A and B are shown apart, each in its own frame.
Chain A
Amino acid sequence: MIWTLNGLRAAGVTLAVMVGTPALAAECIAPADPGGGWDFTCREVGRLLAEEGLVEGNVQVTNMPGGVGAVAYANVAGKRADDGDVLVATSTVGITQIAQGKYPGGIDQMRWLAMLGADVGVIAVAKDSDMQSLDDLLAKLKEDPTSVVTSGSSGAGGWDHIRLLLLAQAAGVDAIDKIRWVQFDGGSPAVTQMMGGQVGVVSTDLGEIKGFVESGDIRILAVLADEPISAFPDLPTAKSQGYDVTGYNWRGFYTGGKVSDEDYAEWVDKLKTLYDSPEWHEAAKASGLEPVWRGGDEFAAYVAEQEQQMAEISRQIGVIQ
């Protein structure tokens, strides 16, 4: 009897914690399970929005996992397209999915608010690798695209894969669809498999694998950012080595497609205020993000451009027809 009573109680507590307290002004939908990047974006930004007094009360975080964000996308497009209180966390990964037709509808279904920060893509090799620079790697791939096994945390056609291919393209590798790509369940598993000699190169976000950079177990051939990043100023960018490729995995938000211009502008303003606060810069740095701002129309244009770029390269490697 006690067991069952406690059972009920524990289940009740669970629901209370999961659902949060009712009647809140703003809601942030994290289209993933608790613990992931999108969940983190919602919780951190939600916390800071409340702390800075930019929203009334708290920001309720709702987890709506499914279809790498597709379930949340369908939900907002179908049921809450004009709800000006909803933020949905997304990132470059979401745009990749849209570009490959894996969401119900294109980017025009939503209004794109802003990005607040980005994880920076890196190209890494093991410390005992014979490849010393990006040139070494790209020269090898140019000579024989199958000579190096590349890997990362996304599947073929995912963002880790695509940004590596953008580099290869910039270096003039023709048969980019011949390059071998292995998917792992995250950046760290990919790196440890590389340290074990299973794969030659890892392309992924710096944030997750920075521990291996600090310990010297891996060598970063290139950082895919405009400028050297503040946490690791010594790491060379791809640009400084003559390849004009950036590979940000930005974190940002969209809202429903029928949200009014006032509500839209208000959110962009609030997010900009948040972005300018030292608290956000601190929180971003703590989680390995570079603070990067693009908001409002500028962000929408950026999303459109990125979507096109991804659709194009996805066609080239045969992920979409």
Chain B
Amino acid sequence: MDILASLWDGFAVAALPINLALIVAGCFAGTLIGALPGLGPVNGVAILIPLTFAFGLNPTSSMILLSAVYYGCMYGGRISSILLNIPGDEPAIMTTLDGYPMARKGQAADALAISGVASFIGATLATLGLTLFAPLLANAAIYFGPADYFALYVMAFATIGGISGTDPRKTLLAALLGLMLGTVGLDPSTGVARYTFGSFNLYDGFDPIVALVGLFAISEILFFLEQKVQEGKLVPPGRVFPRLSRVKEGLGASLRGSVIGFVAGILPGAGASLGAVMAYSFEKRLSDKGTFGTGDPRGVAAPEAGNNAASGGALIPMLTLGVPGSGTTAVMLAMLISLNIQPGPLLFERSPDLVWGLVAALYLANFVLLILNLPLIGIFTRVLGLPAWGLMPLIVAISYLGVYAITHAAFDLMVMVGFGVLGFVLRKLDFSLVPVVLGLLLGMDMENNLRRALSISGGDFLVLFQSPIALAIYGVTIAFLGFSLWLSRRGSSAVQAGVGE
């Protein structure tokens, strides 16, 4: 009852005309920023912070604007994943796996609609979770130690082998390559420089988003150049309007993906990318009949619901503990602090207007995004109608702008091109690029948590198996692998039987 009353007050705050306008503007800006390769929620939010100061917005309105942008970016990230096979931001990587194949089959509109609805389901369920359980969940997240996070990453990597359709050995090799690239830079726990060859530019390692834009966008251009296509289109635009029947196919996957993503979001050491990976691999194991990777609606719905639910979940540790669960929430946290609002255990008591106004705004933002996104599908799919010779240079320009806007370093443009060449070579060799980015992205966190666990124990590896949480995660991982082995045994005989159809 308490919560309902507070939430009601929150809606009163969120429904002020200025805040409503900010929600709509933020959602729209966020969708665009998220859709552009290279620009993701972190820079979207960072870019808008000076504006919130310039307009003299109060803390609540500022947070509402930034959160709307954050949610908008998570919706938008999928658009270029689906249409162009270029993820708009890190958590949207998984959406390329089935989204792009759908677009190639002329089902871009369906894929956009499915992902839009999945995003809505994921984000709304996460907001509901935030409303009901925020303080409770924050307390539970505290008991997740480094060894437990390490187990979580082990689980993620154990499932990576099966995520892309090509040879699992190549997938694992690609993930290993990503892991190796992730070790470049200052070692966070001792400050020792690794593989930097004396270059200060490499001290911070490879920014995953720079690697991502290079691997996906630049390699795509290189492919295009090689094919010397003068006219013609990348993929057929296909239908302009989505079909409801296809959207329905993704509903179950959306619900399952939401739950997994939300859990990953609450854990400050996990985050949206991990949420999307887990949601996708679980869904694949659960319902794959050989269609995943070739344009299965469930393969679009699960990771999209997962990453959107994770971003909602990540607000919980940010607000209740002051611990950011992702790059974006870290920027939002910095802004709250500079507005003299101290996130943490007392925030709910001290600034109920801010918290509940924000929560209410998130509900509204979700509806705005759904309404905003569905009619835009027709426009987005028309992008595919652009001739490739016009679209491709534009993608290059946006990639360069995006990367430079994040890092302000010309050096990173060269890193991006380097990754582009790497991506080109890997694709020539029939490697999937997704595991490379995941290796880079998740590998760093995995290593950090391993190092922390070992620092705590003084170097004793047994610490990894002493926590009941970690043991439970390992148990689930083993069961999961056994289950999929069993499924693949059965699956291979089923496929053989199916050939006769």
Chain A residues within CB distance 8 Å of chain B: 1-4, 6-8, 10-11, 13-15, 17-18, 33-36, 40, 44, 62-68, 70-71, 74, 100, 102, 104, 146, 149, 155-158, 180-186, 188-189, 192-193, 195-199, 208-212, 214-215, 217, 286-288, 319
Q: How far is the CB of A7 from chain B (nearest CB, A)?
A: 5
A-chain residues with CB within 8 Å of residue B79 when the two chains form the complex: 3
Contact mask B369-406 → A, CB, 8 Å, 1/0? 00000000001101100100001001001100110110
In the bound complex, what is the Cα–Cα distance between A3 and B34 (angstroms)?
12
Contact A18 B346 (CB under 8 A): no
B49 proximal to A (CB < 8 A) = yes
- Taking a contact as CB atoms closer than 8 A, the residue among B141, B345, B347, B458 that contacts A180 in the complex is B458
Which residue from chain A places its CB closest to the CB of B467 in the assembled complex? A198
A3 to chain B, nearest CB (A): 5
B344 within 8 A of partner (CB): yes
Q: Would you list which residues of chain B between 272 and 290 have a CB under 8 Å from chain A?
A: none
Q: Determine if B342 and A210 form an interchain contact, defined as CB atoms under 8 angstroms apart.
A: yes
CA distance A210 to B187 in the complex (A): 28
Query: Given A4-B394, A7-B394, A15-B405, are A189 and B455 also a contact pair (CB < 8 Å)?
Result: no
Q: Which of A4, A10, A11, A71 contacts B409 (CB 8 A)?
A: A71
Name, among A33, A102, A186, A209, the residue most crowded by chain B CB atoms within 10 Å (CB to CB): A33
Is residue B195 contacting chain A, with contact meaning CB distance below 8 A? no
The yes or no answer to B238 lying at the interface (CB within 8 A) is no
Q: Is A14 a contact partner of B32 (Cβ separation < 8 A)?
A: no
Q: B338-379 vs A: 1/0 string, CB under 8 Å?
A: 101011111100000000000000000000000000000001
Taking a contact as CB atoms under 8 Å apart, the answer to whether B201 and A71 are in contact is yes
15 new A-B contacts, CB < 8 A, other than A66-B203, A211-B343, A287-B337, are A35-B330, A35-B334, A65-B408, A67-B204, A70-B203, A71-B200, A155-B187, A155-B191, A157-B191, A181-B455, A186-B324, A192-B141, A196-B142, A198-B145, A287-B338
Binary contact readout B39-61 vs A (1 if CB under 8 angstroms, 0 otherwise): 10001001101110000000000
Taking CB as reference atom, which chain B residue is nearest A71?
Answer: B200
A183 CB contact (under 8 Å) in B43, B322, B337, B452: B452
User: A58 to nearest B CB, angstroms?
Assistant: 12
Given A71-B200, A74-B200, decide whether A211 and B342 contact each other with a Cβ distance below 8 A: yes
Partner of B49, one of A4, A11, A35: A35
Find out whether the CB atom of B380 lies under 8 angstroms from the CB atom of A65.
no
Inter-subunit contact A4/B330 (CB<8 Å): no
B222 in contact (CB, < 8 A):
no
Taking the closest CB of chain B, its distance from the CB of A65, in whole angstroms, is 7
Given contact pairs A71-B200, A102-B193, A184-B452, A8 touches B394 in the complex (Cβ within 8 A): yes
CA distance A287 to B29 in the complex (A): 29
- Contact in complex: A102, B191 (CB < 8 Å): yes
Bound Cα distance A62, B144 (Å): 38
Instruction: Answer whether residue B146 sits at the interface, using C-beta atoms and an 8 A cutoff.
Output: yes
- From the candidates A67, A197, A287, name the one contacting B201 in the complex (CB within 8 A): A67
A18 x B405 contact (CB < 8 A): yes
Bound: A287/B397 CA distance, A:
39
CB–CB B191/A211 < 8 A: no
Interface residues of B in 416-474 (CB under 8 A from A): 448, 451-452, 455-456, 458
Tell me whether B47 and A198 are in contact (CB under 8 A): no
Nearest chain B CB to A203 CB, angstrom units: 14
On chain B, the residues within 8 Å of A211 by CB distance are 322, 342-347
- Rounded to whole Å, the gap between the CB of B52 and the closest CB of chain A is 12
A-B CB contacts (within 8 Å), total count? 189
Binding site for A on B (CB under 8 A): 29, 32-33, 35-36, 39, 43, 46-47, 49-51, 79, 141-146, 186-191, 193, 200-201, 203-204, 268, 317, 321-324, 330-331, 334-335, 337-338, 340, 342-347, 379-380, 382-383, 386, 391, 394, 397-398, 401-402, 404-405, 407-409, 448, 451-452, 455-456, 458
Say whether B49 contacts A34, CB under 8 Å.
Answer: yes
CB neighbours (8 Å) of B330 from chain A are 35
Please, which residues of chain A bring their CB within 8 A of the CB of B201? 66-67, 71
Report whether A182 and B346 are in contact in the complex, using a CB–CB cutoff of 8 Å: no
Residues on A with beta carbons closer than 8 Å to the beta carbon of B379: 2-3
Q: Judging by beta carbons under 8 Å apart, are A214 and B191 in contact? A: no
Are the C-beta atoms of B401 and A11 separated by less than 8 Å? yes
How many whole Å from B468's CB to the nearest CB in chain A? Answer: 13
Contact A67-B32, Cβ < 8 Å, known A35-B46, A146-B458: no
Q: Which residues of A contact B190 (CB under 8 A)?
A: 155-157, 319
B405 touches A196 (CB 8 A): no
Cβ contacts A to B, 10 pairs, < 8 Å: A1-B386, A11-B402, A33-B46, A65-B407, A183-B448, A188-B321, A192-B141, A192-B142, A215-B346, A319-B190
**What is the CA–CA distance of A104 and B198 in the complex, to the nearest angstrom?**
10
A20 to B145, CA, bound (A): 42
User: Do the beta carbons of A8 and B187 come within 8 Å of each other?
Assistant: no
Closest to B339 in A: A286
Please, which residues of chain B bring their CB within 8 A of the CB of A183? 188-189, 448, 451-452, 455
A189 to B330, CA, bound (A): 12
Contacts of A199 in B (CB 8 A): 456
Q: A11-B398, A100-B191, A157-B190 are in contact. Are A4 and B344 (CB under 8 A)?
A: no
Give the CA-CA distance A157 to B200 in the complex, in Å. 19
Chain A residues contacting B407 (CB-CB under 8 Å) are: 65
Contacts of A149 in B (CB 8 A): 455-456
Q: Are B345 and A212 within 8 A (Cβ)?
A: yes
Q: Distance in Å from the Cβ of B12 to the closest Cβ of chain A? A: 26
Q: Name the distance in Å between B29's Cβ and chain A's nearest Cβ.
A: 7
Say which residue of A11, A67, A196 sits within 8 Å of B200 (CB atoms): A67
- Name the contact of A7 in the complex, choosing from B146, B204, B398 (C-beta under 8 A): B398
> B355 to chain A: closest CB distance in Å?
14
Bound-complex Cα distance A18 to B47 (A): 7
The docked-state distance in angstroms from the alpha carbon of A155 to that of B51 is 34
When distances are taken between beta carbons in the complex, the residues of chain B under 8 Å from A186 are: 323-324
Contact B35 A3 (CB under 8 A): yes
Which residue of chain B is the closest to A36 with respect to CB atoms?
A: B334
Closest 10 CB pairs of A and B: A211-B344, A67-B203, A67-B200, A215-B345, A196-B142, A198-B145, A35-B334, A70-B200, A182-B455, A188-B322
User: Which chain B positions have C-beta within 8 A of A62?
Assistant: 408
Q: How far is the CB of B454 from chain A (nearest CB, A)?
A: 9
Report whether A7 and B35 are in contact in the complex, using a CB–CB cutoff of 8 Å.
Answer: yes
Contacts of A1 in B (CB 8 A): 382-383, 386
Give B49 Cβ to nearest chain A Cβ, in Å. 7
